[in-house]
Chain A
Amino acid sequence: MALELSSGKTDVRLERPWLNLPGTLGFSDEARNAIDLGQLGALVTNPVSLAPRRPANPPRSLRYPGGLLLHTGHANPGLRRTIRQHGSRWAGLPVPVLVSVLAQDAGELGRMVADLESIPEASGLVLFLPSMEGSTIARWVEQATSLQRPVVALLPLGGDLEAVLAAAEAGAAAILLGPPRGSLEIDGQSVEGRLYGPGLFPLALQSARELAPLLPIPLIVSGGIATPAQARACLQAGASAVGLDFILWKDPQAFLSDEAWA
């Protein structure tokens, strides 16, 4: 059940075919008192930008039947400070660390990749690829792969097939289908954000079935996966691994423990 992520030069082995989504477990070992991080295949950090980002204005989380809309603003202290604060902790974690990279443009991405070159504890990258054309996605992925560590392209679940194929052909080590975006109204105000929760699972499973046969690289699907049975269904449908979101907040042992998989 292990998953190999390859950059062509270096490989990263995930002993278990699941990882957390960016934005779920913090920047290093914040969840250590609640989760045995060794039960993950890899730890994906919260999104890190070149410059610090402040939290978004409230409301940041809106619950609805079937899930949650989250709009945190991806608050983080910026890449260099994140490395200073968490880099040494990455080395002590029992699983590979994939740094989640949130760049605003290609120039920022280049500087972030350069900063990460001297950080061997970052086993690979998870590259945020917001809505953009396939040609732009290809350029970003090529730029990120210059680090010569595996690059996981993060694209929205249910998004554009052209974008997925462009990332795969440009050299991504894997495709991670992450939270789609949506919007809700509250007090007459429209709030946009990422969607999480059990209501997304049918879309995750469908995506695994449809996309995995088209891709030359591993596909990691996420979206409301809460049980080993749901994960197995995605793996049998063609996914190489699954991404975990709300279950890590709700009841991580229900998914991660050996008993759950027995």
Chain B
Amino acid sequence: MRRILTEVHSLALNAFGSPTLRLRTPLDWHIAPGQAVLVDLGESSGLLSPRFPSEIAAGLVSVPLDPDSSFRPGMGLSLAGPIGTGFRPPPSSRRWLLASSEPAPVRLLPLLSRGVERGIEIVFAGSQPTLGLPPSIEIVSSLDQALGWADYLALDASRQALPSLLASLDANGVATTALAAEIVVGSDILCGWGGCGACAISTAQGSYLACSEGPVRPLSSLLERRGRRGA
């Protein structure tokens, strides 16, 4: 994790119509899809705000912004990151299935953009209507419809939705397939290095720290442990 001073490039709306802050970043600062940052957005709590970027480009990163913020282009603000590990789709994968428990899966947007740039076939599965995705992306209503087709699965869940998501994946038999699969779970990150314990994600079999042992995890690390318990 590195602390850098950034500058507001512009304010924009992300693919889902939510306000974002586009920040200029040093060219030697790199962040992967799925990794998080801590940004000094002037919170009244005095703390840095954890954010999952919605856009990653060379020298630029976009982070979700509260609607009542008063940032202007050219303003400076500090940022710490990248935090943890990001998505690592197998280089040979060509058919990605992305799914989210959220109506606006911001945490998946950078991965989705990267896939589109590389000409990957992408299907997005969401139980709720998802607007704003590129037209080249096929949208299905459930994972089942594309699990047999995909060679890589990337999931996004809120902490609240994680138990039901894992249960449905168990029911789908994902645990018994050889499909490369990863998951990112939203969490309130405070320190970014595993010091405070605030970002712990609990599953039926244990817990991990989103900042130092995530945010992106192999799905098998959650499902296999669930399987062992049931055995």
Contacts and interface: CB of A to CB of B under 8 A. Distances in A.
A55 B47 contact: no
21 contacts: A24-B196, A30-B193, A31-B191, A46-B195, A46-B197, A54-B202, A55-B200, A55-B207, A58-B160, A59-B188, A61-B190, A63-B44, A63-B45, A64-B45, A65-B45, A66-B44, A66-B45, A70-B190, A75-B197, A249-B47, A250-B46
Interface in B167-205: 188, 190-198, 200, 202
Interface in A21-78: 23-26, 30-31, 33-34, 46, 54-55, 57-61, 63-68, 70, 72-75
Interface of A: 23-26, 30-31, 33-34, 46, 54-55, 57-61, 63-68, 70, 72-75, 197-199, 224, 226, 246, 248-251, 253
Given A46-B195, A248-B191, 18 more contacts: A24-B191, A25-B195, A30-B193, A30-B212, A31-B191, A55-B197, A58-B160, A61-B198, A63-B44, A63-B45, A65-B44, A65-B45, A67-B46, A68-B45, A68-B46, A68-B190, A250-B40, A251-B78
Contacts of B212: 30
Nearest to A70: B198
Contacts of B40: 250-251
B211 to A, nearest CB: 10
B43 A63 contact: yes
Given A70-B198, A251-B3, A226 B191 contact: no
A99 B32 CA distance: 36
Given A24-B195, A249-B196, A253-B3, A55 B202 contact: yes
A23 B198 CA distance: 10
Contacts of B1: 33-34
Given A197-B45, A246-B46, A251-B78, A60 B195 contact: no
B159 interface: yes
B216 interface: no
B45 A67 contact: yes
B52 to A, nearest CB: 17
Contacts of A249: 47-48, 190-192, 195-196
Contact of B195 (A30, A61, A197, A224): A30
Contact of B198 (A33, A60, A64): A60
Interface SS of A by simple majority: loop
Contacts of A24: 191, 195-196
Given A54-B207, A75-B207, A249-B191, A23 B45 contact: no
A66 to B, nearest CB: 7
A250 to B, nearest CB: 5
A63 B192 contact: no
Interface in B89-129: none
A72 B198 contact: yes
A248 B47 CA distance: 10
A75 B200 contact: yes
B192 A34 contact: yes
A68 B47 contact: yes
A78 to B, nearest CB: 14
Contacts of B200: 55, 60, 72, 75
Contacts of B46: 66-68, 197-199, 224, 226, 246, 250
The 8 lowest CB-CB distance pairs between A and B, nearest first, are A55-B200, A63-B45, A65-B44, A72-B197, A26-B195, A198-B46, A249-B191, A61-B198
